[in-house]
Structure 1
């Protein structure tokens, strides 16, 4: 990332230049890019990992909407070479589920666009004539706190263009203002996510209750152990009623320290775990079987009648074929 900090010539045109593009940004790309950056930071233990992904959306003339994203892979870190085979595969997969979404650009994380991003931009022109750049700029949050008029979201969008300087042309970017477009379903989903999800909140409350109960039980056990220790050491007066209750409580506990009990317990525990694993494998096999059946059903219609399967049947049973013909 050092090259990004040493570029002297800016690749972004002055703010006086207007692009005229009407851009709408949906909440899902914002969440996806932020999650991508956070996950890479934790996985690679780097403060500024290289983040790269594709933007999916719709475009009608000069009106563009960024609706979804997916991550991209790099095959050569030294040259920032994008894995185009993976890009095409993922794009086609999304196209099957969301036919209206097209590849409209890419995203990354950096303070500002540089020559490195121009080089990356050239790799995406084969999928879109003017691929947009959505950039997450974490430092923008600090600037926004000082400037009331600044955008609160640490995102900036850029449109590529060509600049003529000294009779030479070069690729540059124009910053594009955007609006956050939120549908009713997205608003509910974002609100649910911001609150941690209904199931997550319930689970957290349940675990807190369990923790408090276990902590209280542990403290009371320590009191009983100290009392017995003090009685044995002659530092406390023995109360036979309490000692009988403690003896009955200890006798009711399972003999976990007994050798035969431990062997039987381990055997039963392993049997239960094995049953659970077999159940999980059976369920996975059923799901896989359903997927195979659906795949066969979808591809069967594409085969020509009298195609390979029928011909294989004739070749596999020459006697039957000759008998009937």
Structure 2
């Protein structure tokens, strides 16, 4: 363990110092970080492997949403991040998710230490205030039947800040409370993952309910079809009230696709289009007639000024030819 890890001076301000950050954590980062830790445990065969990754999300003022993550690589003795790998992965995610920005980083540790301050300073080159999300290993897992909240999740979020001590400033962290933001699709995915993909999930229950409703509707429709067939065949007594209700129900349904319906629809559609075209043609002819009349009036005025006979109204006006008197 390095000297930085044994530093007695805590890099986390007391709980009396509060953060004004409004932080929302989505289920996908939770699953990604947990999977990253599990995979590193199996790879290194240790219970406390070194885990490092980047946080992607959106930030609007003091409102921050952590939406996605990706893993990071380190160089040398594990104290420096691989900047080339980081920028390459960040640009790749930017092409797929243009609305997401790099907003911080994550790791696995009980509490932040001076080692995390060193990583924080490296990430400060990419964003002014990189957030820190820590997964704290615990012995007992959260029950899959309990409601997922920020209180029973082994995660802690920290906002960077500066502390003035003995006329010197140093980088510190302030713990920021967060809420778990889940949409409908995310809740279904988390529920399915928590139960190992087994049956009994809310999605399966919802689909079974829909299937039962559709099956019941089909059975009732078949009862009505059978009754109408029996009435037509004369094997059942006519219930005029039921037949009227059935007729009203059929009239309220959308028209079905059939040759008779399509032929009638096409005929009515052609009649309506023909009427619209005839109206447009009549309107255009009327406008053209007025334009010709005005043109003839203007030409007639010029010809009268020269003593030349003129026609005040054209053939479309149906007003004949009028000769001016010679003075």
- Which TM-score tier does this pair reach, normalised by the shorter chain? 0.5 to 0.7
Q: How many pairs were matched up?
A: 195
> How much does 1:186 deviate?
0.7
> How much does 1:19 deviate?
1.3
> How much does 1:193 deviate?
1.6
SS at match of 1:164: strand
SS at match of 1:35: helix
Cα distance in structure 2, aligned partners of 1:140 and 1:117? 23
- In structure 2, do the counterparts of structure 1 residues 182 and 150 end up closer, same or farther at CA, with 3 Å as the change threshold? closer
1:128-147 deviations in Å (ceiling 9; x for gaps): 100000000114869xxxxx
User: For residues 174-193 of structure 1, what are the structure 2 equivalents within 5 Å?
Assistant: 174-193=174-193
> How much does 1:197 deviate?
2.5
Q: Where does residue 57 of structure 1 map in the other structure?
A: 57
Q: Where does residue 90 of structure 2 map in the other structure?
A: 91
User: For residues 108-119 of structure 1, what are the structure 2 equivalents within 5 Å?
Assistant: 108-119=107-118
The structure that has the greater radius of gyration is 2
Cα distance in structure 1, aligned partners of 2:150 and 2:176? 14
Cα distance in structure 2, aligned partners of 1:198 and 1:139? 25
Residues 1:123 and 2:110 aligned together:
no
For the 8 Å contact 2:150–2:178, the answer to whether it is kept is no
User: For residues 1-325 of structure 1, what are the structure 2 equivalents within 5 Å?
Assistant: 1=1, 3=3, 6-78=6-78, 80-139=79-138, 151-197=151-197
Cα distance in structure 1, aligned partners of 2:115 and 2:139? 20
SS at match of 1:6: coil
- In structure 2, do the counterparts of structure 1 residues 140 and 171 end up closer, same or farther at CA, with 3 Å as the change threshold? farther
- In structure 2, do the counterparts of structure 1 residues 150 and 86 end up closer, same or farther at CA, with 3 Å as the change threshold? closer
Cα distance in structure 1, aligned partners of 2:45 and 2:89? 27
SS at match of 2:118: helix
TM-score (norm 1): 0.57
1:59-106 deviations in Å (ceiling 9; x for gaps): 00000000000000011125x110011111111111111111000000
The runs of 5 or more residues in structure 2 that have no matched partner are 142-148, 202-327
Cα distance in structure 1, aligned partners of 2:76 and 2:167? 34
Cα distance in structure 2, aligned partners of 1:60 and 1:115? 29
> How much does 1:196 deviate?
2.0
> How much does 1:7 deviate?
1.9
SS at match of 1:153: coil
Cα distance in structure 1, aligned partners of 2:162 and 2:2? 25
Cα distance in structure 2, aligned partners of 1:3 and 1:158? 22
For the 8 Å contact 1:3–1:116, the answer to whether it is kept is no
Cα distance in structure 1, aligned partners of 2:34 and 2:55? 14
- 190-199 or 122-131, which deviates more: 190-199
Report the structure, 1 or 2, having the larger helix content.
1
SS at match of 1:171: strand
Cα distance in structure 1, aligned partners of 2:34 and 2:26? 13
The runs of 5 or more residues in structure 1 that have no matched partner are 143-148, 202-325
TM-score (norm 2): 0.56
CA-atom RMSD, angstroms? 2.5
